[in-house]
Amino acid sequence: MEQNRLSDDFTEGKIAGKLLKFMIPILGALVLQAMYGAVDLLVVGQFGTKAGISAVSTGSNIINMVTFIITGLTMGVTVLISRYLGEKATERIGKVIGGAIVFFMALTIFLMAILLLFAPIFAKWLNAPQEAYSLTVIYVRICGGGLIFVVAYNVISGIFRGLGNSKLPLIFVAIACVVNIVGDLLFVAVFHMDVAGAALATILAQCVSVILSFAIIRRQQLPFKFTRKDIGFHKEILVFLKLGFPIALQDMLVNISFLILCAIINGISLEASSGYGIAQKVTAFVMLIPSSLMQSMSAFVAQNVGAGKEDRARKAMQIGMGLGVCIGVFVFALAFLRGDVPSMLFTSDPNYIACSAQYLKGFSPEAVLTCLVFSYIGYFNGHGKTMPVMIQGITSAFLFRVPLSYLFSIQPQANLITIGLAVPLTSIYGISFFTIYYLIYQKKLRNS
């Protein structure tokens, strides 16, 4: 493979070292991304209105669903670029990127229109508390209006992860995080713009990040050829959509299940709604280890599959599981025993803190279990086997997570601990599903 600091070769060397070297910048980028919403909620909680906490929480759920759809589709781009690198077919990468540019531009226009027009309907569907309804609509519309920058960042990051470079996306998101913190403090704490200020700060941060990322990229030497002729609708779009669409569909439906959960909790009380919103920001950080594992595993496995090194791909998954579980145990202990500590960062209201800590106690086993689930997902994504990933995601969401959450919520002594427990119980099903499919797939590989 051509030696270039914008790409890396995962087909040689120690697996654990290579995987960690690639994963750590991804984890750093995810940490900073999670800080977007966390800082929004933290600043609104300290300097805005109490209803603003619920509005940012509910509105973030809607925006996050759209973001996860984009991330799922860009995963197809990541896997395809990694595969072509493993196959030494770098001449096809330019077409992949050119196709991604036009496809995601068209998709962005469509999604922006949906968010701007239907924000009131989405807020109503999520059963937003009356005090927070109008603020939720404002948050969704402002973030929806700046969606082009969110999409651009995710596409750029997906391309570079596919090249085996996770450091540049970390730089891009670090820039955005700094701008977002400054913007939140300026718009919310100084100008008292409440929820609208938090949304504006988020979009401004993404805009600055994208502009500076283009400036940085122009100074780099790319390990492939890319010309204006590559930009257009061609067959590579269908190839990466075949890989990314099942992931995106799964992410969308899984997030719909969490929106349903949000609506269930919103119907309990403003305290439960705000407490759950705070807990969600904490769980976003809990999920960073498995999420970074999944993203790094997908690119790592795809390169080795392209190079015909199946044993190395399988060992990478096993090592990733071990790393994730070791770290997850400590996160589980913190969330289970002292969920009130991270919750205090977002508000001083004791009722909100208590509700958040309750949910985190029930959710806490997920810190360990989801590392196994996401390692499996990264392994199958890297093989282009995204259909079983989609099936697992959909069945988990609508056969387990939503029914269990609703069942727990209607019990006479219902509380956020038992509702939070629905998430790790769902992951037990996911582990069982993937283990069975993995054994079947390995048998198929041995017989082929």
pLDDT in tens, the chain (448 residues): 344 445 567 788 888 888 888 888 888 877 777 776 678 877 887 888 878 878 887 888 788 888 888 988 898 898 888 888 778 877 788 888 899 999 999 999 999 999 999 999 999 988 887 888 999 999 999 999 999 998 998 888 888 877 777 788 888 888 888 898 899 999 998 998 989 999 999 899 889 988 888 887 777 676 677 778 888 888 888 888 888 888 788 778 777 777 777 777 777 777 777 788 788 778 877 888 888 888 888 888 888 888 888 899 999 999 989 988 988 898 898 888 888 888 887 777 788 888 888 889 988 999 899 999 999 998 998 888 888 988 998 898 889 988 888 888 777 777 788 888 888 999 999 999 999 999 999 998 888 7
Q: Which of 230, 246, 206, 252 is nearest to 103 (CA)?
A: 230
What pLDDT score does 1 carry? 37
Are residues 361 and 334 in contact, defined by beta-carbon separation less than 8 angstroms? no
In the 8-state DSSP scheme, what is residue 401?
A: I
Number of other CB atoms surrounding residue 117 within 10 Å: 11
Ramachandran area for residue 65 (φ above 0: left; ψ -120 to 50: alpha; else beta):
alpha
Number of other CB atoms surrounding residue 25 within 10 Å: 20
Q: Secondary structure of the chain: what % helix, strand, coil (to 5)?
A: 85, 0, 15
Ramachandran area for residue 403 (φ above 0: left; ψ -120 to 50: alpha; else beta):
alpha
Instruction: Calculate the dihedral angle through the C-alpha atoms of 403, 405, 410, 414, rounding to the nearest 10 degrees.
Output: 150
Q: Which of 273, 426, 260 is nearest to 356 (CA)?
A: 273
Distance CA 183, CA 198 (A): 8
What pLDDT score does 8 carry? 66
What pLDDT score does 116 carry? 95
| The dihedral sign for the CA sequence 240, 243, 246, 247 | negative
What pLDDT score does 36 carry? 67
What pLDDT score does 266 carry? 75
What pLDDT score does 114 carry? 95
Distance CA 355, CA 275 (A): 5
Q: Which of 110, 109, 78 is nearest to 96 (CA)?
A: 78
3-state secondary structure of 233: coil
| The dihedral sign for the CA sequence 221, 222, 224, 230 | negative
What pLDDT score does 213 carry? 80
Phi, psi angle pair for 94, to nearest 5°: -60, -40
3-state secondary structure of 436: helix
3-state secondary structure of 268: coil
**How far apart, in Å, are the Cα atoms of 337 and each of 70, 342, 357, 358, 362?**
35, 11, 9, 10, 11
Q: Residue 317 CA to chain centroid, in angstroms?
A: 20
